[in-house]
Amino acid sequence: MLQSIKQLYGSRLGAADGEIGEVKDFYFDDQNWAIRYVIAETGNWLNGRQVLISPHAFSRLTPVEKVWAVKLTRKQIEDSPAIETHRPVSRQYEMDYHRYYGWPFYWEGDGLWGGTRGFPVLDVPVNHLPGELAKEIGAQAERADAHLRSTQSVSGYHLQATDGIIGHVGDYLVNPRSWAIEQLIVKTGHRFSGKDVLVPRSEVSRISYEDSTVFVKLTREAVEKSPAYHLVPALPAITL
């Protein structure tokens, strides 16, 4: 079953040695629509600092307990490279971040997660950038543009069909194994009285951040006739 992103906002996060905050947002890669990072709001623990947590640090996409388990220690998270959430995440920052944890670069290779296919979990950290390859990527890092976008920010964007605006983005449905967004939940009609429909991510042609608009390869009529979506209430937390 696909997972609603909206239902995960506010989930409590726990490291191996204590709680670390809650889910504030997600960054997804707008080239292939995979969730690349959970943005955690640390609250009083780190004076409100926000930190990125890769899917590599989770056993699964959805919590099964009251606290969503992260396979890191508080010290590891505290010492991780700091981000400036008001600025785009640079490729240089991502390289520093992945090197810090010893995780592979998802932008290398032909799979959704680079050389790691399917669910992005590693049992053993990997350092896989020896020699000339590391130098080459390092030289390109400053001019390489990351394609990370906030799910919170894109929510509310207009949905532009081939013949006009038809609604706005309300939520996303994510594959719990690959962490890839597979469906957009779009509210058509009036913001409060319209209906929610499912639009496959494969129908998206581009996102305009300047115009706050998601463009799709469908007509307004086709979007209106898309399958309706009804939010399924989140299951209560299971204490193991």
Amino acid at residue number 18: G
Q: What number is the average pLDDT over the span 193-204?
A: 92
For residue 172, give the 3-state DSSP assignment: strand
Distance separating the N- and C-terminal Cα atoms of the chain? 21
Collect all residues with Cβ–Cβ distance below 8 Å to 41 and sequence separation of at least 6: 21, 22, 23, 24, 48, 50
Find, among 52, 51, 41, 182, the residue nearest to 106 by Cα: 52
pLDDT at 105 over 60: yes
Dmax (CA) of the chain: 58
Average pLDDT for the chain? 84
pLDDT at res. 124: 37
pLDDT in tens, 53-64: 999 999 888 887
Higher pLDDT, 85 or 5: 5
Q: Hey, how many other C-beta atoms are within 10 angstroms of the C-beta on 30? A: 18
Q: Which of 83-87, 118-122, 180-184 has the highest mean pLDDT?
A: 180-184
Contact, 70 vs 55, CB < 8 A?
Answer: no
Instruction: Say what angle helices 131-141 and 91-101 make with each other, to 10 degrees.
Output: 140
Higher pLDDT, 201 or 237: 201
Contact, 40 vs 26, CB < 8 A?
Answer: no
Provide the whole-model pTM: 0.84
Q: What number is the average pLDDT over the span 162-178?
A: 96
pLDDT at res. 162: 98
- The structural domains of the chain, ordered by start, are 3-149 (2.30.30.240), 154-224 (2.30.30.240)
For residues 105 and 111, give the distance between their C-alpha atoms in angstroms, rounded to a whole number. 11
pLDDT in tens, 70-103: 999 999 999 999 887 767 888 999 999 999 999 9
Question: Which of the residue ranges 87-96, 138-147, 164-173 would you say has the lowest mean pLDDT?
Answer: 138-147
Find, among 145, 114, 14, 104, the residue nearest to 68 by Cα: 14
Q: What number is the average pLDDT over the span 65-74?
A: 92
The gap from C-alpha 18 to its chain's centroid, in whole angstroms, comes to: 24
Q: Which two tokens stand for residue 8?
A: 């995960």
Q: Hey, how many other C-beta atoms are within 10 angstroms of the C-beta on 38? A: 24
189 pLDDT tier (thresholds 50, 70, 90): confident
pLDDT in tens, 26-53: 999 998 899 999 999 999 899 889 999 9
Q: Which of 82-96, 102-116, 193-207 has the highest mean pLDDT?
A: 193-207
119 pLDDT tier (thresholds 50, 70, 90): low
Q: What number is the average pLDDT over the span 202-231?
A: 95
Q: Which residue has the tokens 């995960």?
A: 8
pLDDT at 117 over 70: no
For residues 137 and 134, give the distance between their C-alpha atoms in angstroms, rounded to a whole number. 5
